[in-house]
Amino acid sequence: MNDSAEPDALQRFRLLVAQRLGLYFDDYKTGQLASLLEQRCAGLGNLSTPEYLALLEDGAESARELRCLAPKLTVAETYFMRNSASFEALVSEALPARLASAPGGVRMLSAGCASGEEAYSMAIAALALGTDPAAVRILGVDVNPAALDRARAARYSIWSLRQTPDSLAERWFHRRGKEFELVEPVRRMVEFQEANLLDGDAAFWKPAAFDVVFCRNVLMYFTPSAMKAVVDRIAESLAPGGYLFLGDAETLRGLSHAFQLCHAREAFFYRKRAKSSGLAEVPAEALAPPVAQLDPSPRVNGAAGAQLRPPPAGLDSSWIEAIRQSSDRIEQLSIRPAAADLPAQSPRQELDAAARLLEQERYSDALELLGAMPPERGDDPEALLLQGVLLVHRNRLSDAEAVCRRLLARDDLNAGAHFLMALCREGAGDFAAAAEHDEAAIYLDPGFAMPQLHLGRLARRSGELDRARRCLEQALDLLAREDSSRILLFGGGFGRDALAQVCRAELRACGEGA
């Protein structure tokens, strides 16, 4: 393919699809695009490729042609109660909170609703909760008009109900030959509208128009710029304290700081901050009623104030103990120039210098250097993360946790901060919270090896051997391609090979306990 400044027809077509529909197609999918381009040219009276692209770019028929392209380019695969944990979190957390905060009724959006199964599942979940149908309105939107026609018909095959419990199917569907038709109370709660999420229609994206938005398995098909544009519009249209649900493989990491990360019923989802102010901290009391958001504050298992016994040696040692043993030898190193004696540096140079001191295992010197930074520079997220790492190395876990709380208050989508919190919570004996923060780190960054390893160790120690094996095997695979700088930052003083050896030893221990 010609990627030069004068792209060929296929490249122009791919760019137009990205610009108008937001859809991203890898190079290996260009065959699909080429076939579609040929079909559409033929279907419009054997237009030449330049004529067709001109029509698509700015012709009067452009909008109509996009409606023809959408069904052929979008993925309409869906079914009722898909990823059921999201609906469990909806009825246990999001919907009750919004019903309490929105006396005029709750407005929910299914963005990219395809043939309607998701939108109707939202209605069924609300009704199963005992919600007054008049208190909930659901809008399903999609760019595919053919899928919307199927949604409005509200008749589905048994394949669409493959994850629907029999009790729900019997209650909310009527059998119509080989199809299942939704009962009228469910249908009345949902309306459908053709809409392109990339269109900045001010009448649609009104401020605080929605209380809950489901936009699941949609962003993953978009270009990065389209992802950000859509998330920004959703953030603007959600009421303060409103909820956003994404697909299991999607996160807001790198896209928005307008939301808090929440975790309930094995689902990760997001709550809009009361004030969308970038990285600024939002007081928890500003978001009433409270929700099950990831809470970095300390929790203690067992009796309050109980003394924690030192962890046993060997494989059963905690990660913190392993770091402590790795760091003990630093006290035996020869005296080196203090960080205060280093020449004055720019903020970026200071962070780079602190990172070099970490690499040299000069943890106290690195902390001294960071501590000497002016408050406005020391509060930088990158500086906070590095400070947290160094404090963990020095076994100052309460101080490290305080730094992590500051960082998560500013950016709770920071996978590294969640991993450090997991270490701190493990050191405090709060293994449930440690696992929860590991899970958050993995969700936010699926390529992050260390939380997989740490979660695998926690699971093995608690006897969850199947889970431990899954995590440890994933960690071993990820370690082979983990970034070296991240191993330096989060590896606890161990290199790639040493961490891989830990994985293998833990896997052997899982086998012995099986």
The pLDDT tens digits for 147-201 are: 999 999 999 999 999 989 999 999 999 999 999 999 999 999 999 999 999 988 8
The DSSP bridge partners found for residue 23 are: 222
pLDDT for 384 equals: 87
pLDDT at 341 over 60: no
The DSSP bridge partners found for residue 363 are: none
pLDDT for 419 equals: 94
pLDDT tens, 208-237?
999 999 999 999 999 999 999 999 999 999
pLDDT for 392 equals: 87
pLDDT tens, 412-424?
899 999 999 999 9
What is the largest distance, in Å, between two alpha-carbon atoms of the chain?
84
pLDDT for 356 equals: 79
How high is the mean pLDDT of the chain? 82
Find the mean pLDDT for residues 478-504. Answer: 88
Say how many Å lie between the first and final Cα of the chain, rounded: 52
Find the mean pLDDT for residues 62-74. Answer: 88
Look at 81-85, 100-104, 121-125, 237-241 and tell me which has the smallest mean pLDDT. 100-104
pLDDT for 330 equals: 40
pLDDT at 351 over 90: no
pLDDT at 93 over 60: yes
pLDDT for 325 equals: 53
pLDDT at 337 over 50: no
- Residue identified by tokens 């260009």 is 30
Confidence of residue 328 (pLDDT cuts 50, 70, 90): very low
pLDDT tens, 102-142?
878 999 999 999 999 999 999 999 998 899 999 999 999 99
CA 300 from centroid of its chain's CA atoms: 27
Look at 77-86, 346-355, 439-448, 465-474 and tell me which has the smallest mean pLDDT. 346-355
pLDDT for 302 equals: 35
DSSP 341-403: GSPP--HHHHHHHHHHHHHTT-HHHHHHHHHTS-HHHHTSHHHHHHHHHHHHHTT-HHHHHHH
pLDDT for 236 equals: 94
- Structural tokens at position 200: 């900045």
Find the mean pLDDT for residues 239-265. Answer: 91
Find the mean pLDDT for residues 400-417. Answer: 90
Q: Spell out the alpha helix ranges (H) of 8-116.
A: 9-21, 30-43, 49-58, 62-73, 84-89, 95-101
pTM, to two decimals: 0.75
pLDDT at 4 over 50: no
Confidence of residue 357 (pLDDT cuts 50, 70, 90): confident
What is the β-pairing status of strands 210-215 and 238-246? parallel
User: Rounded to an integer, what distance in angstroms lies between the CA atom of residue 254 and that of residue 192?
Assistant: 31
pLDDT for 363 equals: 73
Find the mean pLDDT for residues 312-340. Answer: 47
pLDDT at 370 over 80: no
All domains of the chain in start order, with CATH: 9-73 (1.10.155), 84-286 (3.40.50.150), 316-327+345-513 (1.25.40.10)
Residue 477: which residues within 8 A CB-CB, separation 6 or more?
none
Q: Which amino acid is at 508?
A: R
pLDDT for 432 equals: 92
pLDDT tens, 131-156?
999 999 999 999 999 999 999 999 99
pLDDT for 118 equals: 97
pLDDT for 286 equals: 33
pLDDT > 90 fraction of the chain, expressed in percent and rounded = 52
User: Rounded to an integer, what distance in angstroms lies between the CA atom of residue 421 and that of residue 8?
Assistant: 50
